[in-house]
Amino acid sequence: MSFKEFIKRNLSSFSRSRQKTQVIQTVLNSEQRNEGVINLHRIDPNNVGDFYCGPHQYFDILKNKALDIFDYKNSDKAITDHWIDTVSNNALIIGGGGLLNRGSFELQMKLFEKLSSQSKKTVLWGVGHNEKDKSRFNKVNSYNVNTGNFGLTGVRDYSMPEDWVPCVSCLHPIFDQFFKEHQEIGIIFHKKTIKNKKLLKKLSEYPSTSNTTDLNEMVSFIGASETVVTDSYHAMYWSMLLGKKVIAVPNSSKFFDFKYHPVFASFQDFENQLNKTQSYSGVLEECREVNLKFADKVFDYLNL
């Protein structure tokens, strides 16, 4: 990298950082209302799990009431202005997804925590920790926000003291379909891993897909597999909903805190772990029941 490119990159980074701070401060300085409700989560069409983890996808009363949690750093001022106005004027349903203990969401989550002390109605729905430090895997026992400051809290991490509310995507009707198994092992890569051509070539003998595909293709792929090997949280979760055996290749703390445990391995040695896998029954029904009960509490709290 040339000195000129170095300076340009750092100036750009400084400008983005300043913009994010300004957006957060503008919200904090704005009058807060609860005129309606908005569901904030990571709305990423290139990550099917992130895209379908918001409650607005499953309840008519929340339909079309969604906002990307990343829009606060958009380079388009019209988008950031809309983000500021929408957050300031509405009660907030935050989640789902791995929004806690993750640097890229920390500014927004601490903002929402502060707004809770300003008569803002706030709900955490199906959020979870997402610590990237490998030394912290399976050791997370606290969050980077005080969940007690939010109006209602349901987290997808089973070992934490908060109410357990798994990802709301379990309510999607696609999981009621029948799928015929025709492959012993199916591999589902995360959107970052799918770029690793060397790894893909090494595992080319196995059927594979990624979380960059659409929901129908991904769930159909899971349904066709007896055992799923994946480094995608939602591929792990959805596989368990469908009663599949799962080997998880963890890239974050989030994999270690679901109620039902997969077998943990790497893409290099998962074949040696196949005899340790097991499936769980009744997971879909349990997760749906928990979410519907939590929804009743949320809608009562928000007067919807």
pLDDT digits (tens, 9 = 90+) for 131-184: 999 999 999 999 999 999 999 999 999 999 999 999 999 999 999 999 999 999
Question: What integer is the mean pLDDT of 248-269?
Answer: 97
pLDDT exceeds cutoff 70 at 1: no
- Among 239, 193, 205, 199, smallest CA distance to 219 is for 239
Average pLDDT of the residues of the chain: 94
Q: Which of 12-26, 106-120, 139-153, 182-196 has the lowest mean pLDDT?
A: 12-26
Dump pLDDT digits (tens) for 38-61: 999 999 999 999 999 999 999 999
pLDDT band at 17 (very low <50, low <70, confident <90, very high): confident
pLDDT exceeds cutoff 70 at 19: yes
Query: 3-class SS at 153?
Result: strand
The single residue listed with the structure tokens 């749906």 is 288
Which one-letter amino acid corresponds to residue 226? E
Q: Please give the sequence-ordered ranges of beta strands (E in DSSP) within the chain, or none if there are none.
A: 36-41, 66-68, 90-94, 97-100, 122-129, 152-155, 163-164, 183-189, 208-210, 225-230, 245-248, 263-264
Dump pLDDT digits (tens) for 268-294: 999 999 999 999 999 999 999 999 999
How buried is residue 20: exposed, middle or buried, by Cβ count under 10 Å (0-12/13-18/19+)? middle
**d(C-alpha 139, C-alpha 86), whole Å:** 36
Domains and CATH numbers, the chain: 3-171+287-301 (no CATH), 173-282 (3.40.50)
> What pLDDT is recorded for position 15?
62
Instruction: Answer with the residue of higher pLDDT: 15 or 169.
Output: 169
> What pLDDT is recorded for position 6?
41
pLDDT exceeds cutoff 80 at 2: no
Global pTM exceeds 0.85: yes
pLDDT band at 16 (very low <50, low <70, confident <90, very high): confident
> What pLDDT is recorded for position 18?
85
pLDDT band at 10 (very low <50, low <70, confident <90, very high): very low
pLDDT exceeds cutoff 70 at 298: yes
pLDDT exceeds cutoff 60 at 7: no
